[in-house]
């Protein structure tokens, strides 16, 4: 974060106090700084007087709010959390969103008859899509559940994020009814995640649910969680939800490194700040906010076989 802020200040210093932005732009940037200072997860580590001065310098000569958008982007980078983003109300040359790329397609892994398997993919979209996602994941778990299973592979590889709550409901039968984790903000305020009877709860409020929820034939199973470098954001939230769970171990590669929560703030011109406002913590209140290392780092070709071997050994020890 320090290097990013230094870059921000060096880029702006040669223009500082030369051509001040228009009063409208100054008011807009003051709004941006006010929101960031009140809510950023890194707010205690930033010199806000210098931050504001250099933001105004970066917007030197800007007459319209649209001309100040690049300065807002620089400010987002200077926050140093790697997860915040700026969504401008109107398109500006040079700030176009990158061309949509199709995410990699991960196929389900074939597993032996004594092993259950479920992939928890990323998801975003309408309420209808989120409901269908929950129904699909729990239906697959129900279809693959058998009394003779020794445990489950929960595959989070390629889960690039989206909405964490349908993911937690989908995985709920395997996670079990319990406290799953927390979000902790810059004021050390904690909000707790739970799964109970088909509902994902945040401080008791229902965030996602399914009426026809499934319960495993053998509750509290042995679970191997698979992650890779594309497991990100809400995908990392699911990885955190399995941390500190009994009879659970993770395999693969470290996650993307944005195990943080974002909040949406609307600016006066209709633009949106997606600010990182909290870090994820597991059920034992161990904080993340960075890449989540697996219990067993492995090459991709080794992951499934090793996870299955561990499930069988853990099931035998559990018995």
Burial class (CB in 10 A: 0-12, 13-18, 19+), 113: exposed
Distance from C-alpha of 104 to C-alpha of 126, rounded to nearest angstrom: 22
Q: With beta carbons less than 8 A apart as the criterion, state whether 9 and 47 touch.
A: no
Look at the block and give the residue holding tokens 């051509």.
Answer: 19
Q: Annotate 72-89 with DSSP letters as a single string.
A: HHHHHHHH--S--EEE-S
User: Which strand (E) or helix (H) includes residue 173?
Assistant: helix 164-175
* The dihedral sign for the CA sequence 146, 150, 153, 154: positive
pLDDT tens for each residue of the chain, 319 residues long:
434 444 444 444 444 446 899 999 999 999 999 999 999 999 999 999 999 999 999 999 999 999 999 999 999 999 999 999 999 998 776 665 555 566 778 999 999 999 999 999 999 999 999 999 999 999 999 999 999 999 999 999 999 999 999 999 999 999 999 999 999 999 999 999 999 999 999 999 999 999 999 999 999 999 999 999 999 999 999 999 999 999 999 999 999 999 999 999 999 999 999 999 999 999 999 999 999 999 999 999 999 999 999 999 999 998 8
β-partners of residue 287 are 281
Token pair for residue 161? 């994020």
- Edge-to-edge strands of the sheet including 248-252? 115-119, 151-155, 223-227, 248-252, 296-297
Asked if 84 and 76 count as a contact pair (C-beta separation under 8 A), the reply is yes
Domains of the chain with bracketed CATH: 2-80 (no CATH), 115-262+275-318 (3.90.226.10)
Q: What is the pLDDT of residues 163-182, one digit of tens each?
A: 999 999 999 999 999 999 99
d(CA 72, CA 86): 7
Q: Which residue's structure tokens are 């982007």?
A: 73
Both tokens of 246, joined, read: 């009994």
**CA Rg value for the chain:** 22
Residue 51: other Cβ atoms inside 10 A? 20
- E runs forming strands in 255-308: 260-266, 272-282, 296-297
Give dist(CA 72, CA 95) in Å, integer: 11
The DSSP element (H or E) to which 304 belongs, if any, is: helix 303-318
Residue 27's nearest CA partner among 268, 265, 264, 266 is 268
Q: What angle do CA 38, 40, 41 make, to 5 degrees?
A: 125
Helices (H), 224-270: 234-242
DSSP codes of every residue in 6-73: HHHHHHHHTTTTTSPPPHHHHHHHHHHHHHHHHH-TTGGGS-HHHHHHHHHHHTTT--STGGGHHHHH
pTM assigned to the model: 0.89
Q: Of 83, 174, 170, nearest to 129 (Cα)? A: 170
């Amino acid at each position: 974060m320090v290097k990013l802020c230094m870059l921000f200040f060096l880029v702006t210093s040669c223009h500082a106090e030369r051509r001040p932005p228009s009063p409208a732009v100054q008011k807009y940037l003051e709004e941006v700084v006010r929101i960031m200072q009140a809510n950023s997860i890194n707010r205690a580590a930033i010199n806000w007087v210098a931050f504001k001065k250099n933001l105004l310098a970066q917007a030197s000569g800007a007459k319209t709010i649209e001309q100040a958008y690049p300065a807002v982007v620089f400010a987002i980078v200077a926050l140093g959390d790697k997860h915040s983003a700026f969504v401008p109300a109107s398109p500006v040359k040079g700030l176009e969103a990158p061309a949509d790329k199709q995410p990699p397609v991960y196929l389900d892994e074939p597993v032996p008859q004594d092993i259950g398997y479920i992939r928890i993919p990323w998801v975003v979209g309408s309420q209808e899509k989120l409901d269908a996602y929950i129904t699909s994941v729990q239906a697959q778990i129900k279809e693959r559940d058998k009394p003779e299973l020794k445990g489950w592979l929960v595959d989070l590889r390629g889960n690039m994020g989206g909405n964490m709550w349908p993911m937690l409901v989908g995985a709920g039968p395997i996670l079990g009814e319990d406290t799953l984790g927390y979000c902790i903000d810059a004021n050390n305020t904690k909000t707790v995640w739970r799964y109970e009877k088909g509902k994902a709860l945040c401080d008791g409020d229902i965030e996602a649910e399914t009426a026809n929820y499934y319960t495993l034939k053998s509750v509290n199973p042995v679970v191997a969680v698979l992650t890779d470098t594309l497991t990100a954001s809400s995908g990392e939230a699911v990885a955190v939800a399995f941390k500190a769970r009994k009879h659970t171990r993770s395999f693969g590669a470290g996650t993307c490194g944005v195990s943080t929560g974002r909040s949406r703030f609307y600016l006066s011109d209709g633009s949106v700040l997606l600010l990182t406002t909290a870090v994820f913590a597991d059920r034992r209140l161990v904080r993340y906010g960075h890449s989540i290392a697996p219990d067993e780092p492995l090459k991709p070709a080794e992951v499934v076989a090793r996870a299955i071997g561990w499930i069988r050994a853990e099931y035998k020890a559990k018995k």
